[in-house]
Amino acid sequence: MEIENDFQIIPSYGVQRVEDMLATVVGAGYSNTRARRAVLEALCETGGQATPNRLLALGRAHHPALGLVTVYRTLDILHELGLVRKLHSDAGCHAYAPTTHDHGHHVICQACGQAVEFEGCDIAAVVAAVETQTGFRVQTHWLEMFGMCPKCRKNEG
Amino acid sequence: MEIENDFQIIPSYGVQRVEDMLATVVGAGYSNTRARRAVLEALCETGGQATPNRLLALGRAHHPALGLVTVYRTLDILHELGLVRKLHSDAGCHAYAPTTHDHGHHVICQACGQAVEFEGCDIAAVVAAVETQTGFRVQTHWLEMFGMCPKCRKNEG
DNA sequence: TTACTTGCAAAAACTTTGCAGGCGC
DNA sequence: GCGCCTGCAAAGTTTTTGCAAGTAA
């Protein structure tokens, strides 16, 4: 199996490839344009998350005329198709990360910002406890973890 | 025990009272001002969450000259003192909710927007699985649930 | 009285909308 | 060539900053 880039800690959880995402976009009836390819390429070079502004900077390496508006519009499409998720933190809620699993949540490195999706979030017991405690009926949830990625832990000794 | 308002589903998880929050603010060395009391009162009238703009509208009932900037600055202080948390959702990340527990997360009604804090989020097993899966060392996490509150479920029959 | 606070105005940051021209198919 | 797509400009939102006047202690 081919390693895509530095950020790929565990191959099976690596960054989704540009071609796969592009195929989904085209399959949904959208055109294969230079600007959209540039955004997808940028997204795959980010280490797991990026703000629209950062995607613009990275994308311009592939397509110098790329505009910020197009980044936003492309992210809308990718979100609609389930190819990206929005990440949230107290530091800001402007980052997007590529999706790699059906029911995915992210763990984010507090040192370098790398975001990796994990699977198997089994919190049924917690949900049941909350329903009993509050009387709510829980329909969906949202979970994010923050810590240190393997690389940053190694660099800290 | 006195019921504070409509939004208090379970007494022990009810809205924190203005006086308690004010005592904490004053104890931290901040002045007891009319504007700050107005924001605290607004916060306790919201049903568990509100945006700065909504707090401004509610707060002006108590202090007509209240300005939006002061709402933001007061929220900063309350956040620093751990008295409010920021809520996040795909719909937007502009809402704040009063804190009622040490390690709190919120469950939010998708119909009326009410937010209630719950305690006892035991996700140690999930954290351990994520650490094994990704190689990250998880330091903190963040969890939010979405569903229907008792009142809205009743209204839907 | 003194220092902290406030509210206005303005700026900054982020996101969306309108539109004429360009590009994919 | 037709119609989707793009990028610029401008507008709309949300949040922060500067500052003179006001208020708590």
Domains of chain A plus CATH, in order, are 3-156 (1.10.10.10)
A110 and B135 in contact by Cβ < 8 A?
Answer: no
Instruction: Report the C-alpha gap between A118 and B131 in whole angstroms.
Output: 9
Query: How far does Cα B18 stand from its chain's mean position?
Result: 13
The reply to whether B99 has its C-beta less than 7 Å from any atom of strand C is no
Residues 11-40 of B with CB under 7 A from strand C: 29-31, 33, 35-36
pLDDT at A120 > cutoff 90: no
pLDDT at B1 > cutoff 70: no
Instruction: Report the C-alpha gap between B99 and B47 in whole angstroms.
Output: 13
> Residue B134: phi, psi to the nearest 5?
-110, -15
pLDDT of A122: 84
- Give the pair of three-digit tokens for residue A65: 């005329």
Q: Is B94 left (phi over 0), alpha (psi -120 to 50) or beta?
A: alpha
Protein CA at B90 to nucleotide C1' at D13, angstroms: 16
Binned at pLDDT 50, 70 and 90, residue A18 comes out as very high
Average pLDDT, chain B: 87
SS3 A75: helix
pLDDT at B9 > cutoff 60: no
pLDDT of A8: 31
Q: Give the pTM.
A: 0.86
- Give the pair of three-digit tokens for residue A146: 């923050």
Burial A24-38 (b: 16+ CB within 10 A, else e): bbeeeebeeeebbbb
Question: For the residues A31-35, what does the mean pLDDT come to?
Answer: 98
pLDDT of B146: 95
- Closest C1' nucleotide to B30's CA: C4
pLDDT at B21 > cutoff 80: yes
